[in-house]
Structure 1
Amino acid sequence: MGRVFLSAGHGGFENGQIDPGVIAGNTTEAAVAIKIRDLVASSLRTRQVEALIVPDDLSAAQTLNWINLRYRAGDIAIELHAEGTTNPNIRGTTAYYIANNPQRQEHADRVLEALLRKVPQLQDRGAKPDTETATGSLLFCRGVIPPSVWLEIGFLTNPDDRFLMLNRRQDVAEGIADGLIAWEGGTSLPDPIVPVPPAPTYPTIGINVNGQMYEGSGLLVNGNSFIPVDLADSLGVDLSNAANIRRLRYRNVVYIKAVDLRDFNISVGWNNTSRAVVLRSILPICVGQLDKIMGHGNSTEVQLMIFLRNTNAAAISAFPEIAKLYREEASVEGVNYDIAFTQMCLETNFLRFGGGITANSNNFGALGSATGDRPASFASAREGVRAHIQHLKAYASTEPLVQSVEDPRFRFITRGVAPLVGQLDGRWSAAANYGAQIMALVRRLYESASLL
C-alpha cells in the first residue's frame, strides 16, 4: 500500500481563530482527535506503513492543499472527528465517504468494521455517504486527491463515547489502523520516491445524461468520476465563479468531479454494469428558484413520508399526518412545503426532538415563545405546523397571512428580509451555514423521490 495521510479534525485557524470543534466534558474535539491520530500514526509505522501527519495549525482549506501537494499514487487519507449534539443520549461511530462511490463505501465499511471489532462498546451508526451530513457534502471527502474517509469516532457529548475516546484511545487507534491496513489489503512498504513521476493515465468511463449516452467520455480518477466541463455548460450550470469545484486538465481537456454538480441540482449516480456515471436533471425548476421560500413544493405526501421514514421510522406512527399538514398549511400561505418540511426535519432531528423541546409541544420549527423565556408550545400538530409556516412567511414575504396568527413571534419579525433559504443564516439559527443544511436535505428529498 501507499502512504496514509492522517488529519485530526479541528485545531487549526478558521477566520483568524483557533477552532476547537465540539467542547464537552472538559475537553475538546481537537484535543481528542489529535491524541488518537498520533497513536494511529505510531501503530501504522510499527507495521512499516508510512504515516504523514497533517500539521494541526492548518485551516480546512490549507489541510486539503497540504495533502494534495504531497500526494503520490497509492496514497489514502482519513480525517478523525468527534461529533456533538444537544441530546447527550445520542452516540455511535460513523464513517463518511464521497457519495455515489461504491469503492469508497467499501473502504469506509472496512475502517468501521475494524474499529468496532477492536472497541465493540462503540455503537455502529454505519458507513454513510457525505450527502447525509448536515451540509450535504464533506470538503475533506471531495477536495483531496487521494481516496479518503471522514471518521466520526463517537459523540463527545455522550458520556459513554467520551469515556471510550479518553480512556481507551490506544484501542481506538489500533482499530483505526487495522481498518486502514484492511483498506488496501496488505502491509507492503511504501512506494519508492521517484525523481520525476510519469504522467498519469486514467481509464475512460461512459456518461449517461437523462437516460441518453453522452457522445464524449469521462474519466475515472482515484475511483471518482470526472466529466468534461463543457457538459456542465450544456446542463445550464455556470461554474465560472465556482472556486471550490475541483478541475483536472487531462490531454488538453478540462474535467470536473461529477459529484460536485449535486450542489447545482444535478443528480449524480453510477451504473456499474455499463461503467458509466449517471447524471439526471429533470426537476422543472431553474437554478436559483429551488431555494425560494415562497412557492410551491414538488414532492407528494407519500414521498415526504418515505423520506421521513427512511431516517426515523418511529416518526410515522407518532405523527401520521405530518406530511399532509405541511402540504396543506404551506399551500394556503404560499410557502414551499418541501422547504418547510425539510426544515422541520432539521430542527427536530427527524421528529426525535431534543434541545428542551418534546414531541407533545408540537413545536416543529423550534420556535420561541412571545416572551423568549422558553420554547413555544402548541395544542395540536396542525397548530404547530401552521405557526412554523407563518414564521417562514414572515421572513420571506410582506404579504399578509391568510389564516389567524399562531406564531407567537410573528410580530417581531421584519417582514420580507429573507426570501431565500440562505438568508435565514444567523436569523432563524445562529449557524452560519443554516440555509445550506436545509438545502442539503431538500436535495436528499428530491433524490429519494427521483425528482432530481
Structure 2
Amino acid sequence: MPNPKIRLLTIPPGVAGAALVIAFLAWAALTHFFSPARTAIMLGFPLQGSTVVIDPGHGGIDSGVTSHLIEEKTITLAVGLELSRLLEQAGAAAILTRSRDEDISHLIPEEVDSRYRRDIKGRVKVINESRADLFISIHIDSCTDPSVRGAIAFYNQKYPENKLLAETVQKHVNPVAAINARPGEYIHQEIKEGSYYILNEARVPGIIIEIAFMTNPTDRELMVQQSYQKKMAQALFMGILEYLYIRDQG
C-alpha cells in the first residue's frame, strides 16, 4: 500500500500505549527489522486509519472451557477489553464483538436452529460488516495432558496475510505464554493451520489465538491475574502492530 499506517506523528501526554510503540521500534531497530530506508519512522498514533475487530470468545450462558471456577469467557473479555484500549490509544478503530458478559446470538434471526450457531454467525456478521484490516478471536484451549500450556495462533489459507498475522502474533505472545515455566511442562509456541467457521466465513484476514490452556495449573494461576491479562493484551497489540507494518511496507 502506498501510505503505510505507521507514520510520523507526535505522542500526546499520558498515552500509555506509546510505551509499547517505543518498545516495538527499539526492538525493530536492534533486530534490523527495519531496513535503512525505513529508520526515519518516528512515534505517534501508528495505527491511525486502521480498524481491528476483537472477538472475545464465548459469553453469556456460554462460559467456554471452565476449571476451578475459572471461566474462559471472563478471561477472554478482560484481555479483549485491554487490547481494545491499547489499539485505540495507538489511533486504531477497535470493534469488539462483545464488551460485556453476553453472547451475540441476538444479531441473527431465530430461524437459525441453535443459539450457538446464531452466536458464531453473529460474530462473523460483525467482522464482515466492519470492513476491518483484520480480526483476532481470543480463546483459551484445553488438553487431555495437563502438562501442555502456552499459546496457539490458528489461521487458514483463505487470505495470504493470515499466516503472517499468525506468525507475528505468535512471536510476541510466546514470551508471555511461557512465564513461570516449570519442569515437565510442554509449552506450545507454534502456529497451526485450522478449519474453523469464523476463519472460513470471515471476509477479512484474521486468526484465532488460544492464549493459554485451562487444563494447565500454571496457566490457570496466571490467567486470573490482571497483570498477566495486561501483558497478554500488550503482546497481542505488538503482534498486530508488527503485522500491519510489514503488510503496508510489502
User: How far, CA to CA, are the matches of 2:222 and 2:72 in structure 1?
Assistant: 14
Provide the residue aligned with 2:121 in structure 1.
61
Identity of aligned residues (%): 24
Provide the residue aligned with 2:31 in structure 1.
none
Amino acid at match of 1:160: T
User: Any idea what SS the aligned residue of 2:75 has?
Assistant: helix
Q: Which runs of 4+ in 1 moved over 3 A?
A: 99-103, 117-120
Does residue 180 of the first structure (1) align with residue 240 of the second (2)?
A: yes
Contact 2:148 2:188 in 1 (8 A): no
Which structure carries more relative contact order (alpha carbon 8 Å, separation 6+)?
2
Provide the residue aligned with 2:67 in structure 1.
24
User: Any idea what SS the aligned residue of 1:35 has?
Assistant: helix
Matches within 5 A, 1:140-155: 140-155=198-213
String of CA shifts for 1:177-212, please: whole Å, max 9, x gaps: 1111111117x9xxxxxxxxxxxxxxxxxxxxxxxx
Contact 1:25 1:157 in 2 (8 A): no
Which structure carries more helix by proportion?
2
- How far residue 100 of structure 1 moved from its aligned partner, in angstroms, is 7.1
User: How far, CA to CA, are the matches of 1:23 and 1:152 in structure 2?
Assistant: 14
- How far residue 119 of structure 1 moved from its aligned partner, in angstroms, is 4.9
Query: Match for 1:47 among 90, 94, 116?
Result: 90
- How far residue 85 of structure 1 moved from its aligned partner, in angstroms, is 2.7
Query: Match for 1:128 among 176, 187, 192?
Result: 192
Contact 2:150 2:178 in 1 (8 A): no
Amino acid at match of 2:190: G
Provide the residue aligned with 1:11 in structure 2.
59
Pick the structure with greater CA Rg. 1
Contact 1:94 1:127 in 2 (8 A): yes
> What is the TM-score normalised by the length of structure 2?
0.64
Contact 2:161 2:205 in 1 (8 A): no
String of CA shifts for 1:345-379, please: whole Å, max 9, x gaps: xxxxxxxxxxxxxxxxxxxxxxxxxxxxxxxxxxx
Matches within 5 A, 1:322-333: none
Provide the residue aligned with 1:327 in structure 2.
none
Contact 2:148 2:213 in 1 (8 A): yes
Query: Match for 2:152 among 94, 104, 113?
Result: 94
The total of aligned residue pairs comes to 174
> What is the TM-score normalised by the length of structure 1?
0.37
Matches within 5 A, 1:50-449: 50-55=93-98, 56-58=102-104, 59-72=119-132, 75-99=133-157, 102-121=160-179, 123-130=187-194, 137-167=195-225, 168-185=228-245
User: How far, CA to CA, are the matches of 2:51 and 2:161 in structure 1?
Assistant: 18
Contact 2:158 2:200 in 1 (8 A): no
* Long gaps (5+) in structure 1: 13-17, 131-136, 189-452
* Long gaps (5+) in structure 2: 6-49, 105-118, 182-186
